Amino acid sequence: MAEHVLSARHPLLGTANILLLAVPDGWRVLDGPSRPEVDRWTQRDDLRWMSEGRATYRLVEAAPGAPGLARAEVELRITASPAAGEAHAVRPRHTAVRRGLLPRREVPAAEVEIDCPFTGRRLQLLLVPSLRGGRPTARPEDLEQLVRAMLEGLRCH
């Protein structure tokens, strides 16, 4: 399992951390199609944490025997919003989302919701397989493996 610090960097405002994310061995965390958007942050000790905003990343597992090709690719969408909870809570669930243009297809997805009272925020992590040739690029087992690793190594601050 590998741990990655996800953060948003701004040349004038500095760095706001988003999440400490654990992924299974063999998986890589890559930038998404756009930069993270931080609307508000919370200062705790000497670190800033995104308390409102959104970010998108790609989680990629290399194909066996072909490290330059992806065997599985999952989009990770993170949304941060204020939370009023008093206790740290983590809620994983499996779901499905519609992807593609025509025809739209329902693909398996996973969601993890985290309440972090230390930073006063709720993080929603949505894992959705990318589509290639009209087919999902990750299986439900891949999503389960990612969620398990995230829950084992999850640190919201």
pLDDT of residue 105: 82
Count Cβ atoms within 10 A of the Cβ of residue 157 and give its class: 0-12 exposed, 13-18 middle, 19 or more buried.
Answer: middle
Beta-carbon count within 10 A of 145 CB: 18
What pLDDT, on a 0 to 100 scale, did the predictor assign at position 118?
86
DSSP string, the chain: -EEEEEEEEETTTEEEEEEEEEE-TTEEEEE-SS--EEEEEEEETTEEEEEEEEEEEEEEEEETTEEEEEEEEEEEEEEEEE---SS-EEEEEEEEEEESSSS-EEEEEEEEEEEETTTTEEEEEEEEE-EETTEESS-HHHHHHHHHHHHHH-B--
> Which residues fall within 8 angstroms of residue 80, CB to CB, at 6 or more apart?
18, 50, 51, 52, 53, 54, 121, 122, 123, 124
Of 60, 42, 65, 34, nearest to 137 by C-alpha is 60
Model pLDDT, residue 132: 85
Model confidence, pTM? 0.91
pLDDT (tens digit, 0 to 9) for every residue of the chain, 157 residues total?
889 999 998 888 889 999 999 999 999 999 999 999 999 998 888 889 999 999 999 999 988 877 778 889 999 999 999 987 677 888 999 999 887 777 788 899 999 999 998 889 999 999 999 888 878 899 999 999 999 999 998 787 8
Specify the pairing of strand 66-82 against strand 121-129. antiparallel
Domain boundaries, the chain: 2-153
Length of the chain in residues, anyone?
Answer: 157
User: Rounded to 5 degrees, what angle do the CA atoms 115, 13, 36 make?
Assistant: 50
Amino acid at 74: V
Looking at residue 113, what is its pLDDT? Answer: 94
